[in-house]
């Protein structure tokens, strides 16, 4: 079975109700006012990065494409809208045949972004585009926040493997999206079987403290696990006394013991002591895995420790303090009539309070220095400068309502690693600071 053929990992008839009511009431008013078919351009962007972040990570694009394909108003959904009198009958009739038939361009998944970057551009009639606002933002804000946290953690890990294990710390469906986003951001495996089933992410897991406590003696628990899972398993050694547990683990599994996991205490100190003990017992190839409320700062503090892998849960699936990217979905251009040939007119919000936007259908490019490192995010609405034509960032995702750019998840993961490597070195600093490169408008 191809997991991509499963559709959405939720038991709902469609994604059409993953929306706010005002999307539908705007549609009703636009249909009645004769403006619904005006050609329109919406862009997704963020006005600023979360405090202290040097770059953002685009994640969730593949899920957005799934959501657009599944945005259908079937009989049950229409019945709900009719029963609640949310919209009138002419609007219900229009919704019954709804299919997004426009075009979508966006930053490819895994790419980095900065303030103002048009990470997604949705084009079509006002009516068909406006309905997608909530579900698009729901996915991109969540997944990009998780991917950004994952990227910071994977950078801090310095090449050591990272295990995503946060399913129990978030909504059961959000956990699947979080695992996917973490993989894009640099995590190597997940404990969440739903994510493995849906997206093909490698899964791992052995035992918890409950398994040790189930037995009369720790030795019995270790023996049962090794008998069942083999000498290459990972034994959890901090239920009682760590040193005694490590000694028992090696006695049972021998030097072929795959790994030990430490889930509490002063991880830096304990890891050094465990490494020394393992080596003295001849288990020089046995790895050390640490867990216990890790974030990028804790991971960075363990850089000098003999740690082979990290397991991260709560801080990852909550965006390490920033659970959203504050992305918005704004109308930036629209035609003056429903005539397909009518030219687009830039439009923008002009109110005070930091919520202004810049009108016009934008292109985006990343200018690089002579060494190939990014030095500016360049945005514009006019002709693309000749020196930036080959550095444009947006790619076509949907054309005439048909997805044209679906790709394996590993492609997004590899793209992110490459994009991050082309940022200035200060991008990986965990200290507070502004975006690592400026955004320029031309």
321-350, pLDDT tens digit by residue? Answer: 999 999 999 999 999 999 989 999 999 988
Residue 51: Cβ-neighbour burial (10 angstroms; 0-12, 13-18, 19+): exposed
What whole-number distance in Å separates Cα of residue 72 and Cα of residue 400?
A: 16
Q: How confident is the model at residue 432 (pLDDT cuts 50, 70, 90)?
A: confident
Three-class secondary structure of residue 73 per DSSP: coil
pLDDT for 233 equals 98
pLDDT above 70 covers a percentage of the chain that reads 96
- C-alpha angle 208-173-44 in degrees, rounded to nearest 5: 130
pLDDT for 352 equals 67
Q: How confident is the model at residue 11 (pLDDT cuts 50, 70, 90)?
A: very low
Q: How confident is the model at residue 24 (pLDDT cuts 50, 70, 90)?
A: very high
pLDDT tens sequence across 119-166? 999 999 999 999 999 999 999 999 999 999 999 999 999 999 999 999
Q: How confident is the model at residue 242 (pLDDT cuts 50, 70, 90)?
A: very high
What whole-number distance in Å separates Cα of residue 179 and Cα of residue 169?
A: 12
pLDDT tens sequence across 151-161? 999 999 999 99
Q: How confident is the model at residue 438 (pLDDT cuts 50, 70, 90)?
A: very high
pLDDT (average), residues 241-246: 98
The residues facing 44 across adjacent strands are 120, 329
pLDDT (average), residues 174-187: 98
pLDDT above 50: residue 298: yes
pLDDT tens sequence across 348-391? 988 766 677 899 999 999 999 999 999 999 999 999 999 999 99
For 270-394, list the strands marked E by DSSP: 287-290, 309-312, 328-335, 344-346, 363-368, 374-380
pLDDT for 433 equals 87
pLDDT for 13 equals 52
pLDDT for 23 equals 98
pLDDT for 431 equals 87
- CA Rg value for the chain: 25
pLDDT above 60: residue 241: yes
Question: Which of these, 259, 279, 282, 273, lies nearest to 305 by C-alpha position?
Answer: 273
pLDDT for 9 equals 46
pLDDT above 60: residue 234: yes
pLDDT tens sequence across 70-124? 999 999 999 999 999 999 999 999 999 999 999 999 999 999 999 999 999 999 9
pLDDT for 353 equals 66
How much is the mean pLDDT over the chain? 95
pLDDT, greater one: 233 or 432:
233
Q: How confident is the model at residue 12 (pLDDT cuts 50, 70, 90)?
A: very low
pLDDT (average), residues 206-228: 98
Which residue pairs from 26-35 have beta carbons closer than 8 angstroms and sit at least 24 positions apart in sequence? Answer: 26/130, 27/87, 27/91, 27/94, 27/95, 27/127, 27/130, 27/131, 28/87, 28/88, 28/90, 28/91, 30/126, 30/127, 30/130, 31/90, 31/91, 31/94, 31/127, 32/90, 34/338, 35/126, 35/338
Q: And the tokens for 439?
A: 């955004």
- Measured in whole angstroms, the distance separating CA 35 from the mean position of its chain's CA atoms is 35
pLDDT for 354 equals 67
pLDDT above 80: residue 7: no
């Amino acid at each position: 079975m191809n997991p991509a053929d499963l559709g959405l990992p939720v038991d709902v008839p469609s994604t059409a109700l993953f929306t706010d009511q005002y999307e539908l009431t705007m549609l009703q008013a636009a249909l009645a006012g004769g403006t619904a078919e005006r050609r329109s351009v919406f862009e997704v962007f963020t006005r600023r990065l979360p405090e202290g972040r040097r770059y953002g990570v685009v994640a969730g694009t593949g899920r957005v494409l799934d959501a657009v394909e599944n945005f259908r108003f079937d009989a049950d959904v229409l019945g709900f809208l009719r029963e609640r009198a949310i919209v009138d009958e002419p609007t219900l009739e229009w919704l019954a045949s709804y299919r997004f038939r426009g075009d979508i361009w966006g930053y490819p998944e895994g790419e980095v972004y900065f303030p103002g970057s048009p990470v997604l551009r949705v084009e079509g009639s006002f009516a068909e585009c406006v309905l997608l606002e909530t579900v698009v933002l729901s996915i991109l804000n969540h997944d990009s926040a998780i991917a950004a946290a994952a990227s910071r953690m994977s950078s801090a890990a310095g090449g050591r493997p990272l295990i995503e294990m946060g399913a129990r710390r978030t909504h059961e469906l959000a956990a699947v999206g979080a695992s996917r986003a973490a993989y894009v951001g640099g995590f190597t495996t997940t404990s969440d079987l739903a994510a493995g089933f849906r997206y093909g992410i490698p899964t791992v897991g052995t035992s918890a403290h409950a398994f040790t406590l189930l037995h009369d003696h720790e030795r019995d628990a270790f023996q049962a696990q090794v008998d069942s899972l083999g000498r290459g398993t990972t034994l959890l050694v901090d239920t009682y006394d760590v040193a005694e547990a490590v000694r028992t683990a090696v006695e049972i599994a021998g030097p072929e013991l795959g790994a030990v996991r430490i889930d509490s205490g002063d991880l830096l100190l304990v890891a050094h002591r465990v490494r020394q003990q393992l080596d003295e017992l001849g288990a020089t190839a046995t790895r050390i895995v640490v867990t216990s409320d890790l974030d990028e700062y804790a991971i960075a503090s363990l850089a000098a420790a003999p740690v082979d892998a990290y397991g991260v849960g709560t801080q990852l699936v909550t965006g390490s303090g920033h659970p959203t990217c504050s992305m918005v979905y704004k109308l930036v251009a629209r035609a003056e009539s429903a005539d397909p040939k009518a030219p687009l007119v830039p439009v923008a919000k002009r109110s005070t309070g930091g919520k202004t936007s810049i009108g016009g259908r934008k292109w985006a490019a990343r200018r690089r220095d002579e060494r190939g490192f990014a030095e500016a995010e360049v945005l514009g609405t006019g002709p693309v400068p000749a020196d930036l034509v080959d550095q444009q960032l947006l790619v076509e995702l949907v054309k005439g309502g048909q997805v044209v750019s679906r790709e394996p998840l590993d492609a997004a993961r590899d793209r992110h690693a490459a994009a991050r490597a082309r940022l200035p070195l200060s991008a990986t600093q965990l200290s507070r600071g502004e975006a690592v490169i400026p955004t320029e408008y031309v």
